Amino acid sequence: MVYLKVLSILIYIFSCAWHSHGSHEIYPEYQSLDIDDVNTTYKTAYHFQPKNHWINNPNGPMYFNGVYHLFYQYNPWGAVWGNIVWAHSVSKDMVNWESLDPAIFPSETYDINGCWSGSATVLPSNKPVIMYTGIDLTIRQLQNYAVPKNLSDPYLREWVKPKNNPIAVPDKGENASAFRDPTTAWKGKDGHWRIVVGGKRDLRGMTHLYRSKDFKNWIKAKHPLHSVPNTGMWECPDFYPVSLSAGKTGLDTSMLGGDIKHVLKVSLDLTRYEYYTIGTYLPEKDRYVPDNTSIDGWAGLRYDYGNFYASKTFYDPLKIRRILWGWANESDTRDDDVAKGWAGIQLIPRTIWLDPNGKQLLQWPIEEIESLRDQKVEMSNLKLQKGDFPEIKGVTAAQADVEVVFSFPSLEKAENFDESWDNAENLCAQKGSQVQGGIGPFGLLTLASEKLEEFTPVFFRIFKAQKKNVVLMCSNASRSSLSPNLYKPSFAGFVDVDLTDNKLSLRSLIDNSVVESFGEKGKTCITSRVYPSLAIADNVHLYVFNNGSETLTVENLHAWSMKRPTTMN
C-alpha cells in the first residue's frame, strides 16, 4: 500500500513538472541577467508586480501605523528564480503601491545563501518583528528574525538582524533542507509565544512547533502541531483562527475561545498546490485536530484550484478582517520569461472568512479594488439557449471586473454524475466548455479573440447525484492560445452549494494574462495564467455563453473596465 502511494506521488510530480517550473530550479546563466527593457504585452495592469524581474512568495504582509506592508521574494538581477531578497512595498489601500529598497538580503553566515520565506508579527508593544528562513554556508535551513531600525520611520525602510540569530536550527538527524517558512506568531494564555515551521520526515509532512517567553529565545516542542503521512514537505504553513458566528469579521492571530475554529494551510512542495483544513486547536496540548468535514491530505480543500501558491494571511486591525495574499507563477517557458524580462505576480488580496456552514472558507476580492472600476455595462433577464454566446460590449475586455448571476428553471436536465468522478480537473478536461451538457456548461469566455480561435472559459456544469446535485466549476486553458509551447491546464473544483434557488453566481477579474474567478460568492476560486497570441490589448473580447440543452437566464450582469492604479511598483 505504501509503495502504491509513493508511486502515485511520483507520477503526479512528473505530471506537474511544467507547472512547477522554476520555483526551486537554478539557472545560473539566467538568474543574474539584468533586464531594463521589458515586454509589457502580458503585464498586468492592476495586479501587484514590480516593473521587472522574478517574484514569488508573498512574505510578512502586515498593517502597521496606517500603512500596509507587503514583502515578497524577489530577484533584483534577473527574470528567473535566484539571488532572492525580501523586496518591500507599502500602500495605504493595497491597490496603490510604492516600492522601497529590499528589507532583508543575504549578509550573515546564517543567511548567506538566501533569505527565504517567513512572516511578520506585530507585538503588543506595537513593535513588528519579521521571522524568516536563511540558508547558511553548509546549506542548512535556519530560522532568523529582523526588527525595524527606526520605528519612527512610517515606512519601516530599514531592518536589522539581532546578534542572537539564528533562533531555531534543525535538530541533529533532522532533514536540514526541509525546515523552513515560520508562521506569524500567536500568544497563548500562558503568556508564551508560539510559531510553527514547515518540515517533513520521509514523506510525512509536518509543522514543527516552537515556544518563547520573550520572542528571542525559542524552544522546540516535543511534538509537531500537526502532521500527515504521504504528503511530503509542507512549505509556507499558515495557522490562524476564524469565527463561527461573526461573519466576515477577522480575528487577531492570538485569539482563542469556544466560538472559534482554526485553519491550518500548507503548501505542498511535491505538487505545487496548497490545501487547508478547519479544526480545533487544543492550547493545553498544543495540538491541532482537523474536523472530519474534509480530507486532510492532497485531495483536501484548496483556497484556489488554479495557479495559486505560497499564500499568506494577515489580520487587518483597520477593517477587522483577515486578508489572504497568493502568488501566481507563469505558465510560459523559461526562455519566454527571460525575453519578456519579468515573471510572477501577486494576486488580488482577498478577504477570507468561515462559511456559515463551518465546513469551508469563503473568499472575496478586497473592497478597495472596486475603486478601479470605470465604464460599466449591464445586462438583465437575458435568455441563453444552447449555443448562444452574446458579447459583453462597452468594457475594456482585457482589463475587466465581471459579476453575473445565472438562473435555470429546474434541475431535471442535469446529467447523471458518476461517483468515480472524484477528480475535478480530469472531469473538466473531459467535459470542457464546448462539450454539450444538460445544465451547462455555461459561464464566461474571457480573453477571447473575435472568432474564438482563442478563449479562456470560466464555467459551471451541473450533475445529478444520489444525495444532491454536484456543481463543477472549471477554467480550461486548452484553447487559451494558439502558441503550442505553453502550459494549458484544466483547472477545476467542485462547488458545495444546495441550489435551492436554482441560481449560481460568478465573478471574474480579468487582467491581460490572468483571470481570477470566484464561484458562488467565493465558495470555489480558480486562477488561470494565459498568454493569447491574438486576443491582446484592443483585440480582446468578452462573452457570456451557454452550451447546455437547458435554456438559462442571465438574471443580471455587471461589468466594469478596470483602471490602472495611480501608483504601482
Residue 189 C-alpha from the chain's centroid = 31
> Model confidence over 373-394: pLDDT tens digits?
999 999 999 999 999 999 999 9
What is residue 8's predicted lDDT score, i.e. its pLDDT? 40
How far apart are the C-alpha atoms of 481 and 108, rounded to whole Å?
Answer: 46
Low-confidence stretches of the chain (pLDDT beneath 70): 1-36, 568-569
| Residue 389, burial from CB neighbour count under 10 angstroms (0-12, 13-18, 19+) | middle
Q: Which of 405, 379, 406, 265 is nearest to 322 (CA)?
A: 265
How far apart are the C-alpha atoms of 55 and 166, rounded to whole Å?
Answer: 25
What is residue 466's predicted lDDT score, i.e. its pLDDT? 86
Q: Which of 234, 246, 131 is nearest to 178 (CA)?
A: 234
How far apart are the C-alpha atoms of 442 and 461, rounded to whole Å?
Answer: 7
What is residue 33's predicted lDDT score, i.e. its pLDDT? 59
CATH architecture of 374-562: Sandwich (2.60)
User: Cβ(209)–Cβ(168) under 8 Å?
Assistant: no
Q: Which of 12, 421, 526 is nearest to 231 (CA)?
A: 12
**3-class secondary-structure state, position 69:** strand
Cell numbers placing 150: 527606526
Domain-wise residue ranges, the chain: 2-365, 374-562
How far apart are the C-alpha atoms of 311 and 316, rounded to whole Å?
Answer: 16
What is residue 567's predicted lDDT score, i.e. its pLDDT? 75
How far apart are the C-alpha atoms of 360 and 520, rounded to whole Å?
Answer: 13
Per DSSP, 140 falls in state -
Cell numbers placing 463: 450533475
N-terminal to C-terminal alpha carbon distance within the chain: 50
| Residue 1, burial from CB neighbour count under 10 angstroms (0-12, 13-18, 19+) | exposed
> Model confidence over 168-182: pLDDT tens digits?
999 988 899 999 999
Residue 537: phi, psi to the nearest 5? 55, -120
- CA triple 496-275-81, angle to 5 deg: 135
Any alpha helices (H) in 61-216, and if so which ranges?
none
Q: What share of the chain is helix, strand, coil (3-state, %, to 5)?
A: 5, 45, 50
CATH topology (fold) of 2-365: Tachylectin-2; Chain A (2.115.10)
Question: Pseudo-torsion of CA 175, 178, 179, 184, nearest 10°?
Answer: -160
Rg (alpha carbons) of the chain, rounded to whole number? 23
Look at the block and give the residue holding cell 503601491.
97
What is residue 5's predicted lDDT score, i.e. its pLDDT? 39
Distances (CA, A) of 140 to 22, 85, 119: 21, 18, 19
How far apart are the C-alpha atoms of 389 and 459, rounded to whole Å?
Answer: 13
The full 3-state SS of 178-210, as one line of letters, equals CEECCCCCEECCCCCEEEEEEEEECCEEEEEEE
